[in-house]
Structure 1
Amino acid sequence: MSKKFVLIYGDAFVDYIAEDQSNSRFTKFLGGATVNVAAGVARLGAASSFITVTGENETSEFVRNELAEEGVDLSFSQIVPEKEVSGVYVHLLENNERHFERYVDVTPDIQVDFSAIKNEIIHETSVFHFCSGTLFHPIALGTTRKIVENMKKSNVLISFDANIRPLRWSSEESCRETISSFFNMVDILKLTEEELFFLTETTSIEDGIKSMQQYNIEALLITIGAEGTYAVLHGEVVHVPVEKVIPVDTTGAGDAFVAGILSKIYLEGHPSTKEDWIRYIAFSNRLGGICATKPGALSAMPRLKDLQ
Structure 2
Amino acid sequence: MRIKADITALGELLIDFTPAGVSQQGMRLFEQNPGGAPANMLAAAAKFGLKTAFIGKVGRDMHGDFLRETLVKAGINTENLIQDDRYFTTLAFVSLKENGEREFSFSRKPGADTQLCMKEVDKSILENTRVFHVGSLSLTDDPSRTATYEALNLAKSSGALISYDPNYRAALWSDAETAQLRMQSVISYVDIMKISDEETALLTPYEDPEEALRYLIRQGVRLAAVTLGRDGALIGNANGIVKAEGFSSQVVDTTGAGDSFWGGFTASFLQAETEPEHLTRGQMIEFGRVGNAVASLCVEHRSGISAIPEMEEIKERLGK
Q: Per the alignment, in what secondary structure is the counterpart of residue 75 of structure 1?
A: strand
Alpha-carbon distance change, 156 to 81 in structure 1, aligned in 2, over 3 angstroms: same
Residues 136 and 168 in structure 1, CA contact (< 8 A), matched pair in contact too = yes
1:105 aligns with 2:111: no
Residues 189 and 219 in structure 1, CA contact (< 8 A), matched pair in contact too = yes
Match of 2:279 in 1: 273
Q: Per the alignment, in what secondary structure is the counterpart of residue 122 of structure 2?
A: coil
Q: Per the alignment, in what secondary structure is the counterpart of residue 298 of structure 2?
A: helix
How far is 1:20 from its partner? 5.5
Residues 46 and 74 in structure 2, CA contact (< 8 A), matched pair in contact too = yes
Alpha-carbon distance change, 266 to 138 in structure 1, aligned in 2, over 3 angstroms: same
TM-score, length of structure 2 as denominator length: 0.88
Match of 1:262 in 2: 266
Which amino acid in 2 is paired with 1:79? Answer: Q
Match of 1:16 in 2: 17
Match of 2:56 in 1: 52
Alpha-carbon distance change, 173 to 135 in structure 1, aligned in 2, over 3 angstroms: same
Which of 235, 258, 268 is matched with 1:231 structurally? 235
Instruction: Out of 202-211 and 292-301, give the one that drifted further.
Output: 202-211
Q: Per the alignment, in what secondary structure is the counterpart of residue 268 of structure 2?
A: helix
For 1:95 and 1:123, the matched residues in 2 are separated by 42
Deviations 1:100-137, CA, capped at 9 Å, x for gaps = 2x100143476222123233213320111111122111
Identity %: 25
Within a 5 Å distance, the mapping from 1:231-250 to structure 2 comes to 231-234=235-238, 236-250=240-254
Alpha-carbon distance change, 182 to 71 in structure 1, aligned in 2, over 3 angstroms: same
Residues 260 and 287 in structure 1, CA contact (< 8 A), matched pair in contact too = yes
Within a 5 Å distance, the mapping from 1:1-308 to structure 2 comes to 3-19=4-20, 24-100=28-104, 102-108=105-111, 111-200=115-204, 202-234=206-238, 236-271=240-275, 272-274=278-280, 275-308=282-315
Deviations 1:199-246, CA, capped at 9 Å, x for gaps = 335442344345445411011100001111111212722111122223
Residues 6 and 266 in structure 1, CA contact (< 8 A), matched pair in contact too = no
Q: Per the alignment, in what secondary structure is the counterpart of residue 295 of structure 2?
A: helix
Count of paired positions: 307
Moved over 6 A (4+): none
Residues 246 and 289 in structure 2, CA contact (< 8 A), matched pair in contact too = yes
Which amino acid in 2 is paired with 1:273? Answer: L
Q: Per the alignment, in what secondary structure is the counterpart of residue 85 of structure 2?
A: coil
Q: Per the alignment, in what secondary structure is the counterpart of residue 155 of structure 1?
A: coil
RMSD (Å), alpha carbons: 2.3
For 1:76 and 1:119, the matched residues in 2 are separated by 10
Q: Structure 1 regions of 5+ residues with no counterpart?
A: none
Instruction: Out of 120-129 and 194-203, give the one that drifted further.
Output: 194-203
Deviations 1:16-55, CA, capped at 9 Å, x for gaps = 0112599932111111111212222223321111001123
Residues 95 and 103 in structure 2, CA contact (< 8 A), matched pair in contact too = yes
How far is 1:96 from its partner? 1.7
Q: Structure 2 regions of 5+ residues with no counterpart?
A: 316-320
For 2:93 and 2:82, the matched residues in 1 are separated by 25
Residues 159 and 187 in structure 1, CA contact (< 8 A), matched pair in contact too = yes
For 2:60 and 2:128, the matched residues in 1 are separated by 28
Instruction: Out of 87-96 and 210-219, give the one that drifted further.
Output: 210-219
